[in-house]
Structure 1
Amino acid sequence: MPRFAANLSMMYTEHDFLDRFAAASADGFTAVEYLFPYAYDATELRRRLDDHGLRQVLFNAPPGDWESGERGTAALPGREAETRSAITRALEYAAALDCQRVHVMAGLVRPDATPKEPAEHRDTYLANLSWAAERAAVAGVDILIEPINGRDMPGYFLNGQAEAHAVVRDVGAPNLKVQLDLYHCQIVEGDLTATLRRDLPTGRVGHLQIAGVPDRHEPDRGELNVRHLFGVVDELGFDGWIGCEYLPRAGTSEGLGWLNDYRGDSA
């Protein structure tokens, strides 16, 4: 049966952030993910996890100046030192939180980029990811990369599943993996069942995420047949986590009928 992690950056926002751990646990979650831990001391986050019987399964490395619109630096030439410092900081938090997955964001490419610049971005990306994977391996951590749709994040360097898997193959590190967000994948290319059946057996997918399409609300709201997709994930024996990275329509707990029904049918 698939295992679900609450995304505390999007869910339970009716509570202060540090109170979201208790709320997720009360709804039966045993794991959490979120965007960034860095506004909080790692020991406080560790205490919240322990107090509520939760596992930390994913967070992002520092993404540059998020408030000014940056969305990662790993594919940006000239930002290598900053990228590697961010990864070092992320691995420190990963050790404190016993988190085995860190997502490294690629960054935004300028719309006026010259024809040769995409190759320069990719070369920078590969070099930074190789550096990150080597250091993360010592700590037992997987580095993840995620294709993101251009509607939600225009200009993001990495958009497609095939592109992400090519990056993983080219780097050649066993702990560099793809974060397959079914919401983004549906918007960019669709064909989710075939994508799961093609990519999960490769071992290159380290984490899944889900949200309803097109509005990013509960997974059962919109065009996805999530019960079918969960069945495919189960059939393929995926042993990772599915992050619930969605925006509840009207209260997080009130919108968990889809998950409670699935848990009941799978019991």
Structure 2
Amino acid sequence: MPRFSANLGFLFADRSHGERIAAAAAAGFPAVEMHWPYEVPAATLRTALDRAGVRMLGINTPVGDRARGDNGLAAVPGREAEFAAAFDLALSYAVALGGTAVHCMAGVVAPDGREAAERTYVANLTAAADKAAAAGKTILIEPLNPRDAPGYFLADVEQAAAIVQATGRANVKIMFDCYHVQIVGGDVIRRFERVRPLVGHVQIAAVPSRAEPDEGELAYPAILAAFEAAGWDGFVGAEYKPRGRTEDGLGWMAAYPAAEAAAVAMGDAR
């Protein structure tokens, strides 16, 4: 059965980070993941995780300067030192929080600079992977669709697979976000099967709305069953933008009775 983690960048977002962790636990999620938790001391978040009894999965590297149009730094030539500092901060949080992975955000690159960007990206990821391996952590890279992330260097799963292989590091993996994959090319199940050995995390959301995964183009019960048949037994991140209050939209879990029963049991135990 799928094991779902709550992405607290979108879920329970009307609360503080610590309150989001508690709310995810109360809703029955056994794990959480975050985008950018850096305004909260790591020790404070670790206390909230321990109190709630949930585990931390991944966090993102800082994006850089939004005012400059930054959306990550890992593939941006000339900003290697900034990326290294951003990664070191993210890794320190992952270690302190007991997290499993750091998502290294690639960044926005001009069309005529993609060759240099790829070299920069591979070099930065290789160095980051060596640091992460020493701490027992995984590096994730995630293709983002150009509709939501114009100019983002990493846009499709096949490109991500080539980048992972170019690093030559076993702890560099793909974050397979079904929402982005569907928008960039579709054929979600077959594309997952082709890159399955390189996948380090899975995320879901409705397409095209990015709301709860119970509407739109993708039939997630069938998709996740196919992923499981292909050997996926890791967590599935619920990274969607709720239509309203997060708790009011969790009915989608009823499509996965075993997961829902586990969630209910966890909620009752609390």
Per the TM superposition, whether the score is higher than 0.5 is yes
Aligned residues of 1:2 and 1:233 also touching (Cα < 8 A):
no
Aligned counterpart, 2:65: 65
Aligned counterpart, 1:234: 228
Greater shift, 57-66 or 127-136, is seen at 57-66
Deviation at 1:17, TM superposition (A): 2.8
Alignment of 1:45-56 (within 5 A): 45-56=45-56
Q: Name the amino acid aligned to 1:259.
A: M
Deviation at 1:234, TM superposition (A): 1.8
Alignment of 1:162-181 (within 5 A): 162-181=158-177
Distance 1:264 1:175, change over 3 A: closer
Secondary structure at the counterpart of residue 85 of structure 1: helix
Distance in 2, Cα, partners of 1:63 & 1:266: 34
Aligned counterpart, 1:129: 125
Aligned counterpart, 1:257: 251
What runs of 5+ residues in structure 1 fail to find an aligned partner? Answer: none
Greater shift, 52-61 or 256-265, is seen at 256-265
Aligned counterpart, 1:244: 238
Find the partner of 2:210 among 210, 216, 220: 216
Distance 1:265 1:39, change over 3 A: closer
Secondary structure at the counterpart of residue 166 of structure 2: helix
- Aligned residue pairs total 261
Alignment RMSD:
1.4
Find the partner of 1:148 among 129, 144, 151: 144
TM (norm. structure 1) is 0.94
Aligned counterpart, 2:77: 77
Greater shift, 191-200 or 174-183, is seen at 191-200
Deviation at 1:265, TM superposition (A): 7.8
Aligned counterpart, 1:107: 107
Aligned residues of 2:75 and 2:106 also touching (Cα < 8 A):
yes
Distance in 2, Cα, partners of 1:105 & 1:36: 11
Deviation at 1:68, TM superposition (A): 4.9
Aligned residues of 1:109 and 1:155 also touching (Cα < 8 A):
yes
Distance in 1, Cα, partners of 2:227 & 2:143: 19
Aligned counterpart, 1:22: 22
Q: Name the amino acid aligned to 1:206.
A: G
Secondary structure at the counterpart of residue 32 of structure 1: strand
Deviation at 1:22, TM superposition (A): 1.1
Which structure 1 residue ranges, 4+ long, deviate > 6 Å from structure 2? none
Secondary structure at the counterpart of residue 176 of structure 2: strand
Q: Name the amino acid aligned to 1:207.
A: H
Q: Name the amino acid aligned to 2:233.
A: D
What runs of 5+ residues in structure 2 fail to find an aligned partner? Answer: 262-270
Secondary structure at the counterpart of residue 4 of structure 2: strand
Task: Tell me if 1:186 matches 2:182.
Answer: yes
Q: Name the amino acid aligned to 1:197.
A: E
Aligned residues of 2:253 and 2:259 also touching (Cα < 8 A):
no
Distance 1:133 1:264, change over 3 A: closer
Deviation at 1:88, TM superposition (A): 1.1
Secondary structure at the counterpart of residue 59 of structure 2: strand
Distance in 2, Cα, partners of 1:13 & 1:260: 22
Residue by residue over 1:61-100, the C-alpha shift from the partner in whole angstroms, topping out at 9 and shown as x without a partner, is 1121136531001111100011011111111111101111
Distance in 2, Cα, partners of 1:132 & 1:225: 36
Task: Tell me if 1:138 matches 2:134.
Answer: yes
TM (norm. structure 2) is 0.93
Distance 1:29 1:94, change over 3 A: same
Distance in 2, Cα, partners of 1:142 & 1:265: 25
Secondary structure at the counterpart of residue 82 of structure 1: helix
